[in-house]
């Protein structure tokens, strides 16, 4: 199974957090699409088309999207990727470890919380991934 990894990428720490999720997926035998690794980072406006096309192509063959929801609010790219996955019928798991969901509902949107399985720890994320692997192969 291929997993699309969505989350904020603007800082080195944010990218390192995404790379940790990537490592977990690989430990479970999954292939991943990691936007900053597979499409590169945005440096200026001429990068937008390349990144947009690459990110959409990254959804090919994906059976799961994992969204890093840490931080104040959901990054615009992550929100778009989650919506795109939902529209394509791709299961979405969110992970939020920095703040309780009920304390951050105003930052995340009721529709995202109501339509997405959100876990609060790495062990819980691994458990949900394993459930999906069993269900979808």
pLDDT, tens digit (0-9, with 9 covering 90-100), for 66-117: 999 998 888 888 999 999 999 999 999 999 998 887 777 777 888 888 889 9
Percent of the chain scored above 90 by pLDDT?
50
C-alpha span between 116 and 26 (Å, rounded)? 22
Q: List, edge to edge, every strand of the sheet that includes 31-33.
A: 31-33, 2-6, 62-68, 92-95, 117-119
Domains of the chain: 2-136 (3.40.50.450)
- Give every CB contact of residue 122 below 8 A, 6+ residues apart in sequence: 20, 24, 95, 97
Positive or negative CA dihedral for 131, 106, 22, 47? Answer: positive
Q: What is the pLDDT of residue 137?
A: 63
Overall pTM > 0.85: yes
Are the C-beta atoms of residues 34 and 66 closer than 8 Å to each other? no
Tokens of 124: 């819980």
DSSP, res 28: T
């Amino acid at each position: 199974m291929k997993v699309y990894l969505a989350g904020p990428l603007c800082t080195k720490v944010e990218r390192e957090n995404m790379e940790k999720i990537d490592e977990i997926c690989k430990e479970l035998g999954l292939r991943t699409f990691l936007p900053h690794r597979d499409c590169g980072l945005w440096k200026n406006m001429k990068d937008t088309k390349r990144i947009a096309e690459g990110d959409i192509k990254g959804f090919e063959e994906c059976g799961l999207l994992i969204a890093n929801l840490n931080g104040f609010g959901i990054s615009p790219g992550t929100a778009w990727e989650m919506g795109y996955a939902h529209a394509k019928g791709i299961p979405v798991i969110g992970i939020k470890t920095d703040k309780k969901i009920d304390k951050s509902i105003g930052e995340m949107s009721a529709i995202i919380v109501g339509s997405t399985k959100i876990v609060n720890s790495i062990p819980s994320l691994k458990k949900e991934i394993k459930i999906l692997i069993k269900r979808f192969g």
